[in-house]
Amino acid sequence: MSLRGSVTPPGDKSISHRAGLFSLLATGSCRVSNFSPCADCASTLEAVSRLGGKVERRGEEVVLRGAGGKLVSTEVDCGNSGTTMRLLMGFLAGRPGRFTLDGDASLRRRPMGRVADPLTRMGAKVSTTDGRPPVTIEGAELVGQRHELAVASAQLKSALLLAGLRAKGETVVVEPHLSRDHTERLLKAMGADIAPAEGGWRVRPSEIRLPETLRVPGDVSAAAFMLTGALITPGSQVTTLGVGLNPGRVGLITVLQRMGAKLQVIEEGRDPEPWGRVSAAYTPELIATEVLPEEIPLLVDEVPILALAATQARGVTVMRSINELRIKESDRIAAIITQLGALGARLWEEGDDLFIEGPTPLKPQGSYDSYGDHRIAMTLAMAGVLCGQTLEVADAACAGVSYPDFYRDLEALKQ
């Protein structure tokens, strides 16, 4: 089996979330094309509607009418989506009203104290359940602060910048390493008073206005599965079209190129963010590499699929400081080690580092578990492509959390 052809991945999940959520604060209205059809972004749109925003789906397009910050006190189900919950915490904190945010069993296990604590220092009234959802927020007057984050997290950074839009004075957020900057770019495009400062970003109280139209680029984190599958499967050649190339999102491409991968990137536009096509061809001689701590935020969602590629690379690949992976939709370090290990891969953890020794032929035996985590399910599907058979994976359908047509698109590439 090989993968051949081209694929257009769904609209970017991170940018779709932000377009939807920011409409709650903004004035004006916006026709968003290529809005992500994924379950996580459906949670965001549902949240926006419940909080008083106006959302209309017209096929591939979503029309958003700004609520101008006039929100309805309510309970919000964020489903499986950490981005929905954390960004909402940030901008609900400074609004009048009482809001409760909850989610599914996976989201209820994820830490929210990292957002609640700095918000509380700004004057917010946020209560969590032992640091986890459900989260209750009562609107309060916020005062701008300087935040030095202990972890590079775009969700946390975004929550604090959004809180800063309604806080007195200036809010500054500095991260230990750079993470994706979709929030900064979109807020700036909407007229917010936001700028780089002190090695991070500062924001001042501002009104924002929706652009009339916004085209969401394709999700590079969805493209990542097809591209990596093509690199490791003999005879493959895949092109992903219309893919977002935000510098904070393309760490996988940089690392795979360092490993010798035949990967070609052609930028075709810069509005609203850089985007273009990315092609991958089977590369028989991938070489192991060391992925440094500062590179992890740039490929944080791609660690599982990069781990699969590393099983086929010569030498020991090390991914340094990947502890954030323990608190994603599943404990992804445990999931990668048990599931790829069950396929015969040689991989282990030492502290917060992951080691993978290759090349190793993978041999399916028995069944596999996605742990209800979309990125683990899609990684296992690509492991199946490499092995030339479809693996039996529990809850494989959870891929729809980020990529509803993943299996259809994959079938269309199979030759």
Q: What is the nearest approach in angstroms of ligand S3P to the Cβ of residue 75?
A: 23
Within residues 80-99, the interface with ligand S3P by CB under 6 A covers 83
- The site map against ligand S3P for 110-139 (x = CB under 6 A) is ------------------------------
Which C-beta is closer to ligand S3P: that of 155 or that of 283?
Answer: 155
Helices (H), 190-286: 220-232, 251-258
Which C-beta is closer to ligand S3P: that of 152 or that of 227?
Answer: 152
H/E stretch holding 168: strand 167-168
Which C-beta is closer to ligand S3P: that of 14 or that of 239?
Answer: 14
- Asked if 155 interacts with ligand S3P (CB under 6 A), we say yes
Which C-beta is closer to ligand S3P: that of 216 or that of 232?
Answer: 216
Applying CB under 6 A, the span of 90-98, 147-155, 194-202, 246-254 interacting with ligand S3P comes to 147-155
Q: What is the nearest approach in angstroms of ligand S3P to the Cβ of residue 405?
A: 19
Catalytic residues: 301
Applying CB under 6 A, the span of 28-36, 152-160, 163-171, 263-271 interacting with ligand S3P comes to 152-160
Sequence-distant contacts of 185-193: CB under 8 A, at least 24 apart? 185/246, 185/272, 185/273, 186/15, 186/18, 186/19, 186/22, 186/272, 187/22, 187/161, 189/272, 190/22, 190/26, 192/165
Which C-beta is closer to ligand S3P: that of 46 or that of 324?
Answer: 324
- Asked if 300 interacts with ligand S3P (CB under 6 A), we say yes
Q: What is the nearest approach in angstroms of ligand S3P to the Cβ of residue 388?
A: 30
Q: What is the nearest approach in angstroms of ligand S3P to the Cβ of residue 139?
A: 24
Within residues 260-299, the interface with ligand S3P by CB under 6 A covers none
**Contacting residue, 14, 16, 23, 317, with ligand S3P by CB under 6 A:** 14
Q: At what angle do helices 113-121 and 154-164 cross, to 10 degrees?
A: 30
Applying CB under 6 A, the span of 133-141, 155-163, 201-209, 269-277 interacting with ligand S3P comes to 155-163
Q: Cβ of 72: how many Cβ atoms within 10 Å?
A: 12
Which C-beta is closer to ligand S3P: that of 95 or that of 182?
Answer: 182
Applying CB under 6 A, the span of 154-162, 190-198, 227-235, 263-271 interacting with ligand S3P comes to 154-162
- The site map against ligand S3P for 176-205 (x = CB under 6 A) is ----x-------------------------
**Contacting residue, 80, 128, 145, 153, with ligand S3P by CB under 6 A:** 153
What CA–CA distance (Å, rounded) separates 260 from 262?
Answer: 7
Within residues 345-404, the interface with ligand S3P by CB under 6 A covers none
DSSP 315-376: EEEEE---GGGGGSSS-HHHHHHHHHHHTT-EEEEETTEEEEEE-------S-EE-TT-HHH
Instruction: Please return the burial class of 327, using the count of CB atoms within 10 Å of its CB with bins 0-12, 13-18 and 19+.
Output: middle
HSE of 208 in the Cβ direction (CA atoms, 13 Å)?
A: 34
Strand partners, 5: 238
Which C-beta is closer to ligand S3P: that of 15 or that of 386?
Answer: 15
Q: What is the nearest approach in angstroms of ligand S3P to the Cβ of residue 156?
A: 6
What are the backbone angles phi and psi of residue 362, rounded to the nearest 5°? -95, 140
Q: What is the nearest approach in angstroms of ligand S3P to the Cβ of residue 370?
A: 16
Of 183, 174, 224, the closest CA to residue 202 belongs to 174
Q: What is the nearest approach in angstroms of ligand S3P to the Cβ of residue 158?
A: 6
Binding-residue total with ligand S3P (CB under 6 A): 12
Residues sharing a CB contact under 8 Å with residue 307, sequence separation 6 or more, in sequence order: 319, 336, 340, 347, 354, 356, 379
DSSP 383: H
Do residues 110 and 82 lie in contact, with contact meaning Cβ atoms separated by under 8 Å? yes
Applying CB under 6 A, the span of 130-138, 148-156, 198-206, 282-290 interacting with ligand S3P comes to 148-156
Convert 171-214 into a string of H (helix), E (strand) and C (coil): EEEECCCCCCCHHHHHHHHCCCCEEEECCEEEECCCCCECCCEE
Do residues 146 and 174 lie in contact, with contact meaning Cβ atoms separated by under 8 Å? yes
Binding site for ligand S3P (CB under 6 A): 14, 17, 83, 153-156, 158, 180, 300-301, 324
